[in-house]
Chain A
Amino acid sequence: MVEKTGEKDLALQKGKSTCSICGKKIPLGEFYSKSIISGKITCSNCDKGVLVKGDLLFFPNE
Chain B
Amino acid sequence: MFIFRRISKKDASLDFITGNKAFDEKSPGGNLVPYLNEDILSGGEFFTYLLMEQTDSNKTILLGLLRYKFTNLKEFSFELSKCEVDQEIKNNLINELDKFDFSFIYLSRIGVIKNFHDMNIGQIISNFFEFLIKRDRKKSFIYLKVIERQKDFIAPSYDFIAQSDDKKWGTYFLASKILEFD
Contact = CB atoms under 8 A, between A and B. Distances in A.
A37 B168 CA distance: 29
Nearest to A46: B157
Given A36-B141, A49-B123, A57 B107 contact: yes
Contacts of A57: 107, 109-111, 122, 126, 144, 146, 150, 153-154
Main secondary structure of the interface of A (DSSP, over half): loop
A6 B181 CA distance: 18
A58 B64 CA distance: 13
Contacts of B101: none
B176 A26 contact: no
B86 interface: no
A60 B182 contact: no
A24 interface: no
B90 interface: no
In this complex, the interface size class of chain A, counting residues with CB under 8 Å from chain B, is 20 to 34
Contacts of A55: 18, 64, 110-112, 116-122
Interface in A17-56: 17, 26, 28-38, 42, 47-56
B129 A50 contact: yes
Interface of B: 18, 20, 22-23, 25-26, 64, 93, 96-97, 107-112, 116-123, 126-127, 129-130, 134, 141, 144-147, 150, 152-159, 161, 166, 168-169, 172, 176-182
